[in-house]
Amino acid sequence: MDVAAAIDRYLASPSLSESTRRAYAGDLRDFAGWLRGRGTDLEGVDIRALSEYTAELGRGRRGLAPATIARRLAAVRSLLRFTLGPSRVPRGTISPRRPRRLPDAPKLADVEETLAGVAGDGPLGLRNRALLELVYSCGLRSAEAVGLDLGDVDFEQESVHVLGKGGKERVVPLGEEAAYAVALYLRDGRPALARGAENALFVSVRGRRLDTSVLRRLMRNPHRLRHAYATHLLEGGADLRTIQELLGHASLSTTQIYSHVDARRLRRVYDRSHPRS
């Protein structure tokens, strides 16, 4: 079986998102080169071959991070499943263990400074301020924020309808500051940017729906606002189950990482306050 042809067929599959297609393309070309070096085709890939490939990715000058290796293995497994069928995908866990990383959540003062830094009374300034206010107020992922339509913000109910990962929908409360910023943008900013019948809440200078690159230009890592949202809720007394629903996490275990962030704060308070700390 020609590996390059199999990869091209897989990458052309309509089931892949454009971002997944871009990420997997380089990963699979690398795997194809490794197979050629071993004189192996796809049908010869078993658990031993994947284990050797994993070791190759982690050693020497490559020394890839565990998360990167895990993504590459996911791409390979997906290719095998598509090309040969589910029964031909080697079973077993071979991905390297990923170190647990605590979210880098900015303090409230840092968030306020970031939001205050997005100034301007023009259409773009009003849009950018509303966008960042909404991301922090509702704990949105970047793609969720730019994917909002006009009807998703309900000022009367003070809520936002969000379409999350995997098409999972949720409704989150809309904070007062964000509501004001969005209303101001809709009144004084968006009409100058909108073109035709575009239904997107946030639009570009050409009147089209924004992409996530705009958020990254406003803030190097906009996902930190989502971390701040969750961390500040937890520090304010919200329980993990509630935060799980608000973030749109499928599993509570994903949300529980924020409990470790709060534990660090509790330790600092204890050390500062307890006479025998």
Q: Which residues are catalytic?
A: 141, 165, 223, 226, 249, 258
Q: How far apart are the first and last CA of the chain?
A: 66
Q: Alpha-carbon dihedral of residues 245, 251, 255, 260, nearest 10 degrees?
A: 150
C-alpha span between 95 and 68 (Å, rounded): 10
Instruction: Count CA within 13 A, CB hemisphere, residue 230.
Output: 30
HEC letters along 117-179: CCCCCCHHHHHHHHHHHHHHHHCCCHHHHHCCEHHHEECCCCEEEEECHHHCEEEEECCHHHH
The DSSP output letter for 15 is T
With b for 16 or more beta-carbon neighbours within 10 A and e for fewer, the 86-106 pattern comes to eeebeeeebebeeeeeeeebb
What proportions of the chain, in percent to the nearest 5, are helix, strand and coil?
60, 5, 35
C-alpha span between 248 and 141 (Å, rounded): 10
Contact status, residue 26 vs residue 32, Cβ threshold 8 Å:
no
Which among 112, 107, 132 is positioned nearest to 232, based on CA atoms?
107
Q: Residue 34 corresponds to which tokens in the numbers above?
A: 């490794």
